[in-house]
Amino acid sequence: MTRVTLLAGGVGGAKMAEGLAALEDVELTIIGNVADDDEFHGLWISPDIDTMLYTLSGRINRDQGWGVADEGRRALDTLEELGAPVWMFLGDRDFGLHIYRSQRRHAGDRPSVITADIAERFGIKARLLLPTDDKVQTRVRTAAGWLSFQEYFVRERCAPEVLDLAYTGLADAQLTAEARAAITEAEILVIAPSNPLVSIAPILETPGLRAAIAEARAPVLGVSPLIAGQVVKGPADRMMASLGHRADALGVADLYQGLVQHFLIDNQDAALASEISALGMTPHLADIFMRDAEDKARLARHLVDIAREIIREHAA
Amino acid sequence: MTRVTLLAGGVGGAKMAEGLAALEDVELTIIGNVADDDEFHGLWISPDIDTMLYTLSGRINRDQGWGVADEGRRALDTLEELGAPVWMFLGDRDFGLHIYRSQRRHAGDRPSVITADIAERFGIKARLLLPTDDKVQTRVRTAAGWLSFQEYFVRERCAPEVLDLAYTGLADAQLTAEARAAITEAEILVIAPSNPLVSIAPILETPGLRAAIAEARAPVLGVSPLIAGQVVKGPADRMMASLGHRADALGVADLYQGLVQHFLIDNQDAALASEISALGMTPHLADIFMRDAEDKARLARHLVDIAREIIREHAA
């Protein structure tokens, strides 16, 4: 068994996690993103963490990539009748989870422990950790002012140009002991094909996390979330561009310079390989688009095989 | 328009309220029962108040007399999967209301105001008031010890013998200004055919409420919740018996002695009329069983007509 620790955001991260979880020779630990958490109707919602929970437990709505299959909207209908804002879709099954989490948070339980308990109840074998138990929230500056991440992402459907990003609470957030150990004890570290700015950055910049990676003996591999300059899902490409980054695999590699040693990019991006090499990381070409379970497992297999080869070379 | 104020509990009270609400010459105010309120999954649930809201807005599940029609249990299914106790059925639409109420309570809004806002949003014309904004909870002593009301009522299905009742918080509860005014300004006061011990008593014994009734100029009419010694719904008959009361209309009349001046009992209970007279209240015989909307409106009409006759006699 190889201990793999994955830093991952929402949909893309969950796909990568699913692929790794399918490998029988991998013991998977995921450090998820809590910076898109927010409160709705007095309940605490963790969209990225829930996408991970729903994906790994097979509850996910495969058509949309988030939310639960066979979902209802009766609770939301009532809230709408009562005049509550309902632009954030929250299904009935989903509400059950939010109610459970909120009650336990309110009782003072650590968010990490609550997440681990939910994962266990959902029959998930991988360990799902939080980078911090503190409240960290991505804020998005647009021409209309600062928005919460969900306001930007869901209410405004990522339409406004992103002028700046901030991560409230991040500078003072305390890295969980579990996340630190999962990094220092990992045999392979992987940065998932998630949005580098709003999914990976708030994990990476948790104080102490980069230091833990620097301390770790594991090779660090990344997978590009962009293929031929386009995102599979979400606003990463436009967000990269508006914030002055190249909106392609090279732009992502640039953000991970000094951290990621091996970077998987799509075959379509072969032309970027030499520039990625120049950043001090080894590019690896592959078909990184994950359509189905087979794709996910194949990419995960490929990733783990590359990492094992690196480990062998190091040992030699 | 005649101002009628109704003191009412759950299912029986809601039926009476529905009948009165159907009368075009009545301006109805209801003072509901909050003593069966409880917290589930971190949310504040008010079963009697919700039965009233759902009944008067036409949302009620007519087959069972409580809860919402076209209900789902997806949220509860999730909570069950997560290991939460789910003996209290809470439907998805219902959860929407509980989430809304809990958020506003948590924000510091008065429960009375929240209730009024929900009623307005639900298109209810009658005013629905709370006797108090404070927390009052009926406790039920059984051979196994003290239970919360919902533990006794739902979890234990009213099976244990009731050895004692207590109303936590009632002695210190503050009568709302709205409830006081609704009593002193009423033209007719009605005690609904609700359980006298667990629905009406916690309203009546709110400090200041009996004094307000004593001050009021309105006649006080009651409707028996027991017909031929049997309850239409709920445990009132067995509870009366185990607590040393007669389990029939006379036993209820006895509890209302000195308060109720006119008491409607069922034609089947004609034999009790003289004993009820002996308690100092005027018995009125009627068909008081409410099967459908027509029954409810007919009984309400009859009640209001009796009250108007009393008022006319007083004025004469």
Query: Which of the residues A44, A74, A88, A118 would you substitute to probe the B interface, choosing the one with the greatest number of B C-beta atoms within 10 Å?
Result: A74
Class of domain B2-139+169-315: alpha beta
Q: Nearest residue on chain B to A95, judged by CA atoms?
A: B75
Write down the pLDDT at residue B167.
Answer: 98
Check CB contact under 8 Å for A96 and B79: yes
The model's confidence at residue A301, banded by pLDDT at 50, 70 and 90, is: very high
Residues of chain A numbered 253-272 and touching chain B (CB < 8 Å): none
Is B315 in the A-facing interface, judged by CB distances under 8 Å? Answer: no
CB contact under 8 A, A77 and B93: yes
Which chain A residues touch B39 with a CB distance below 8 Å? none
Question: DSSP of A154-176, one letter per residue?
Answer: IISTT-SPP-EEEEETGGGPPBP
Residues of A in contact with B99 (CB under 8 A): 41-43, 75, 79, 95, 99
Say what the pLDDT of residue A314 is.
87
Checking if the pLDDT of A8 tops 90, the result is yes
Q: Phi, psi (5° rounding) for residue B186?
A: -70, 150
pLDDT of residue A79: 98
Q: How far is A25 from chain B (nearest CA, A)?
A: 29
CA atoms of B65 and B54, how far apart (whole Å): 10
Q: A305: which residues sit within 8 A by CB, 6+ positions away?
A: none
B43 contact A CB<8A: yes
CB contact under 8 A, B96 and A118: no
CA B26 to chain centre: 19
**Partners of residue A72 in chain B, C-beta under 8 Å:** 72, 74, 92
pLDDT over threshold 90, residue B314 = no
Per-residue confidence (pLDDT) for residue B295, from 0 to 100: 96
Across the range A132-154, mean pLDDT stands at: 97
Q: What is the average per-residue pLDDT within B123-130?
A: 98
**CATH 3.40.109.10 correct for A2-55+124-139+169-315:** no
A156, A87 Cβ separation under 8 angstroms: no
Cβ distance of B41 and A99 shorter than 8 Å: yes
pLDDT of A117 above 90: yes
The Cβ of residue A139 has, within 10 Å, a number of other Cβ atoms equal to 16
What is the pTM assigned to this prediction? 0.95
Say yes or no for a CB contact (<8 Å) between A97 and B82. yes
Are A100 and B121 an interchain contact pair (Cβ–Cβ within 8 Å)?
Answer: no
Look at B96 and A79 and tell me if their CB atoms are within 8 Å: yes
What is the gyration radius of the CA atoms in chain A, in angstroms?
A: 19
The answer on pLDDT for A201 being more than 90 is yes
Residue B140, CA distances (Å) to B47, B137, B161, B275 in order: 17, 10, 9, 30
pLDDT tens string A210-245:
999 999 999 999 999 999 999 887 899 999 999 999
Which residue has better confidence, B158 or B232? B158
- CB contacts, 8 Å: B83 with chain A: 121
Q: Per-residue pLDDT tens for B10-58? A: 889 999 999 999 999 999 999 999 999 999 999 999 999 999 999 999 9
Would you state the pLDDT for residue B233? 79
Which token pair is A117? 């308990």
CB contact under 8 A, A96 and B102: no
Mean of all residue pLDDT scores within chain A: 96
Given a cut of 90, whether residue A19 has pLDDT beyond it is yes
List, edge to edge, every strand of the sheet that includes A188-191: A127-129, A26-31, A2-7, A188-191, A220-223, A262-266, A282-286
Q: Which chain B residue lies closest to A94 (C-alpha atoms)?
A: B75
When CB atoms are compared, the residue of B74, B97, B117 closest to A96 is: B74
Residues of chain B neighbouring A71 (CB-CB closer than 8 A): 74
To the nearest whole Å, the CA of B207 is away from the closest chain A CA by 32
Neighbour order of strands in the sheet with B282-286: B127-129, B26-31, B2-7, B188-191, B220-223, B262-266, B282-286
State mean pLDDT over A129-143. 98
The chain-wide mean pLDDT, for chain B, equals 96
Least CB–CB distance from A96: residue in B77, B107, B118: B77
Mean pLDDT of A243-255: 96
* Among the partner residues A81, A92, A102, nearest to B72 by beta-carbon distance: A92
| pLDDT above 90: percentage of residues in chain B | 95
- Determine the pLDDT at residue A65: 81
Contacts of B91 in chain A (CB under 8 A): 74
Q: If DSSP codes are grouped into helix, strand and coil, which group holds residue B147?
A: strand
A-facing residues of B in 68-97 (CB < 8 A) are: 70-72, 74-79, 81-84, 91-97
Cα–Cα distances (Å) from A66 to A71, A81, A202, in that order, read: 11, 25, 20
Q: What is the ipTM of this complex?
A: 0.95
